[in-house]
Amino acid sequence: MIHVGIGYDVHQLVTGRKLILGGVEIPHEKGLDGHSDADALMHAICDAVLGAIGEGDIGQFFPNTDPRWKDCPSRVFLEEAARQVGLRQGRIVNVDASLIAERPKMMPHMTAMKANIAAALGIDAKKVGIKATTNETMGFVGREEGIPAMAVASVDLPE
């Protein structure tokens, strides 16, 4: 039976941090602030996968109050989400995500992002969709104060 989950994450852009999205370090004057590497794309996908199996969010598995996760690569979180699917004898069918940012341009990094996400989830890169858009200069995204990501995941679980 196919189950679907949705995820959303957002982190504030700040100076003095690397910008990491989809496991790719993207050249930019600001990075995302957070306890881990603050990869909003991987965090949204993680929440989507966990939601598809009826679990809570990333914070329940990896609380930002736990020093073990300080500066942790978000790949670790995706790998755990995939492991949780496997514990239920399920398989990830696909994931699809959207990044929303005025700058920098995401397209040059999409292939690497897909490969990183697919590897962490143990699925083929063809099963990973990523899109990028702007917010047409409106709101906190338009002011380049933060970058949100949204994701959906479908997981096939036994009945």
**Mapped to the 3 state alphabet, what secondary structure does 23-54 carry?**
CEEECCCCEECCCCCCCHHHHHHHHHHHHHCC
Whether the pLDDT of residue 63 is over 90: the answer is: no
Pairing of strands 24-26, 19-21: antiparallel
99 bridge partner residues: 132, 149
Domain region containing 77: 2-156
In this predicted model, what pLDDT tens digit does every residue of 76-89 receive, in sequence order? 999 999 999 999 99
pLDDT of amino acid 67: 87
pLDDT of amino acid 151: 98
Instruction: Say how many domains are in the chain.
Output: 1
Whole-angstrom Cα distance, residue 93 to residue 90?
Answer: 9
CATH for 72: 3.30.1330.50
